[in-house]
Structure 1
Amino acid sequence: MRKLLIPLVLILIGVLVSSVYVIEEGTRGVVLRFNKIIELSTPGLHFKIPGMDSVKVIDAKIQTTNSSNNNREQRFFNVQKKELIVDYFVQWKIVDFNRYYETIAGGNNVEDLLLARLNGRLRAEIGKLSNEDIINDSNADTKSRNSLMIRVKDALNGTHHETVDNTPIDKLVNDAKKDPEASKTSLRAFGVEVIDVRIKKINFPDAVSGSIYARMRAEREVIARDKRFEGVKKAEETRASATLQATKILSEAERQSRATRGEGDANAAKLYADAFSKDKEFFSFIRSLKAYEQSFVGNDVMVISPDSEFFQYMKLKSDK
């Protein structure tokens, strides 16, 4: 009896060990019974039926896939039929582990399917935009790189009615591979959801980059020339306006000065007239003295008759 007890204990221990499994944080366990999914295990300690159940551990963290994962440059054409080399990455996570397992169990690579769909959508969206639109980072502009990435993400995730859970996985995969650009099947149908799409870098092929940059320089030179012409035009307008204002100010000042001088001359004339009317002889004498003062200056020669009235106040009167 003792000999049978030890093997029995060992068997029970083996059964117990094979019945226990641990799911680590950041992962999920898909429990299969005869290759059919029966439940999803969350992180922690779990039990299964040995020999009947098996567990497939799946990474539940956010994953990042780069466009360069397949070691091939992704080339697209814009609306001007110019070739672009686009380097991007996409972040995604598993939202339906059962559906995801059904996809990979059929021999399908979800990352390849994701990149195929993503390249198809990028090709369709980039084909609608010019180089300036793609370079533009404005969120407000519907024609910009940011809005392009948002539209691509929304198209990959799709809407609720585009998520067909009852359709066989193989049919959805074939449809997505057949025409990834026009396919509207949501990636949620494969158990994954796109969180973000980001374009890291956009380059031109070496063969055409020189001509494109030369054209861009020519366009910028035209813009710079127009700006300079606009500046010269505004400067001339400003100078003309300033000259007009200065002319107006000088004219007004001249008018006011002439009016002031006229008033002063009128007042002076009135004063002279008043003085002349009070004592005509004295006023005539003062005027003559001023005339003498202004006339006999310098070496000027005057030819005037001695009997002229000009010298009337310089003559000596004899006593009678």
Structure 2
Amino acid sequence: MKNWIWAVLIVFLAVLLLASASFYTVNQSQNALLMQFGKQISVQKAPGLYLKWPVLQNVEYVDKRLQNYSPQPESFLTQDKKPLLLSYFAEWQVVNPGVYYARLHDQANAQTQIGDVLRAALRSQIATMSMEALIAARQQEISSPVMQAADQHLSTFGIRLVDLRILQVGLPPELLQATYKRMEAEQTQQANTYHSQGKADAEQIRASAEKEKTSILADAYRQQEQIKGQGDAEAASIYGDAYGKDPKFFAFYRSLEAYRHALSDKTVLVLNPDSPFFKYFRHSLNEAGK
């Protein structure tokens, strides 16, 4: 009796296990591939509960959500053979899970394939543009042709390229350092040119100022001599008029001028008392003696 109960229990459990292995679920973020002996039998894209043969069939799930691909910045050569560092970001999605699973099998292989395709498309596009044009280009001018070429290639793997964004365009570190040094040398050369030009301009300004100074001094000296000559002529005329009107007063005035220029507090003169120089002194002394 006990053996019969155990037999029924084992059969029940076996049926239960087979029944549970006969169903599988698909959620909204997945596509389900029904496989039999390694071959695809069907693809279920709608969410729900589905039936399969236990043991003989198995299910592989493929994520149908948007995936992203964001590698490290990579170096590319422009049309003028200049290396350029490019940083980019891509979004992709599985649209044909059967082809995707058959050719790539999993997401790791998909990322590798997407990277190879995008790298080749970017290299081809950048090779047609100069560095100046590439730096000045708008986002769509670079990404649109790359997306078109890459999406066409990735469609053979059941993948659709949804978006591609160029994040940054720059120079490799070694080239950037060389560019900084070249810019520094150019700025130094330009500063030296400005310094030399300024020095030359300063010399020219100084020479012009010196020339103008000499001209002004010469003109001033000429005017001085002219005024002095006019003054001397006017003084001579005045002296002549004064001498003509009163020769004695003129002689007296000239003697006073001579006394004023010749005599001072420390002046010592040794002259004969009868010298004409003391003419008016003797006259003054005689008047004082009276």
Alignment-mate amino acid for residue 64 of structure 1? N
Contact 2:78 2:131 (C-alpha < 8 Å) held by counterparts = yes
Matching residue of 1:128 = 128
Query: Residue by residue, what CA displacement relative to the aligned partner does 1:276-297 show, whole Å, maximum 9, x if unpaired?
Result: xxxxxxxxxxxxxxxxxxxxxx
Shift in Å at residue 92 of structure 1?
A: 0.7
Matching residue of 1:76 = 76
CA distance in 2, matches of 1:20, 1:106: 23
Matching residue of 1:118 = 118
Shift in Å at residue 119 of structure 1?
A: 0.7
Which secondary structure does the structure 1 equivalent of 2:79 belong to?
coil
Query: Structure 2 vs 1, CA of residues 91 and 107 (structure 1 numbering), >3 Å: closer, same or farther?
Result: closer
CA distance in 1, matches of 2:69, 2:35: 28
Matching residue of 2:87 = 87
Give structure 1 stretches of 5+ with no counterpart: 139-144, 159-185, 220-320
Alignment-mate amino acid for residue 78 of structure 1? T
Q: How many residues align?
A: 183
Shift in Å at residue 211 of structure 1?
A: 4.8
CA distance in 2, matches of 1:216, 1:188: 49
CA distance in 1, matches of 2:115, 2:42: 29
- Which of 27, 30, 40 is 1:27 aligned to? 30
Query: Residue by residue, what CA displacement relative to the aligned partner does 1:44-99 show, whole Å, maximum 9, x if unpaired?
Result: 2112111111111111101001122xxxx411011221111111111111111100
Query: Structure 2 vs 1, CA of residues 75 and 25 (structure 1 numbering), >3 Å: closer, same or farther?
Result: same
Larger-Rg structure: 2
Shift in Å at residue 131 of structure 1?
A: 2.5
Shift in Å at residue 207 of structure 1?
A: 2.3
Contact 2:104 2:157 (C-alpha < 8 Å) held by counterparts = no
Give structure 2 stretches of 5+ with no counterpart: 188-290
CA distance in 2, matches of 1:22, 1:209: 55
Normalised TM-score (structure 2): 0.57
Contact 1:23 1:44 (C-alpha < 8 Å) held by counterparts = yes
Which secondary structure does the structure 2 equivalent of 1:109 belong to?
helix
CA distance in 1, matches of 2:184, 2:159: 42
Shift in Å at residue 106 of structure 1?
A: 9.8
CA distance in 1, matches of 2:172, 2:137: 22
Alignment-mate amino acid for residue 89 of structure 1? F
CA distance in 1, matches of 2:107, 2:142: 32
Given the alignment of the two structures, is residue 57 of structure 1 paired with residue 61 of structure 2, yes or no? Answer: yes
Shift in Å at residue 36 of structure 1?
A: 0.5
Q: Please, which moves more after superposition, 38-47 or 56-65?
A: 38-47
CA distance in 2, matches of 1:155, 1:6: 62
Q: After TM superposition, list the pairs within 5 Å mapping 1:54-203 onto structure 2.
A: 54-68=58-72, 73-105=73-105, 109-138=109-138, 145-158=139-152, 186-203=153-170
- Which of 171, 176, 183 is 1:209 aligned to? 176
Shift in Å at residue 217 of structure 1?
A: 11
Shift in Å at residue 104 of structure 1?
A: 2.2
Matching residue of 1:45 = 49
Which secondary structure does the structure 2 equivalent of 1:31 belong to?
strand
Matching residue of 1:265 = none
RMSD of Structure 2 on Structure 1 (CA)? 2.7
Contact 1:103 1:110 (C-alpha < 8 Å) held by counterparts = no
CA distance in 2, matches of 1:65, 1:217: 40
Which secondary structure does the structure 2 equivalent of 1:22 belong to?
strand
Matching residue of 1:142 = none
Q: After TM superposition, list the pairs within 5 Å mapping 1:258-297 onto structure 2.
A: none
Query: Structure 2 vs 1, CA of residues 153 and 5 (structure 1 numbering), >3 Å: closer, same or farther?
Result: same
CA distance in 1, matches of 2:119, 2:113: 10
Contact 2:75 2:172 (C-alpha < 8 Å) held by counterparts = no
Alignment-mate amino acid for residue 133 of structure 2? D
Determine which structure has the larger helix proportion and give its number: 2
Q: Percent identity?
A: 23
Matching residue of 1:9 = 12
Contact 2:96 2:158 (C-alpha < 8 Å) held by counterparts = yes
Which secondary structure does the structure 2 equivalent of 1:67 belong to?
coil
Contact 1:80 1:130 (C-alpha < 8 Å) held by counterparts = yes
CA distance in 2, matches of 1:133, 1:76: 14
Query: Residue by residue, what CA displacement relative to the aligned partner does 1:231-267 show, whole Å, maximum 9, x if unpaired?
Result: xxxxxxxxxxxxxxxxxxxxxxxxxxxxxxxxxxxxx
Shift in Å at residue 3 of structure 1?
A: 4.0
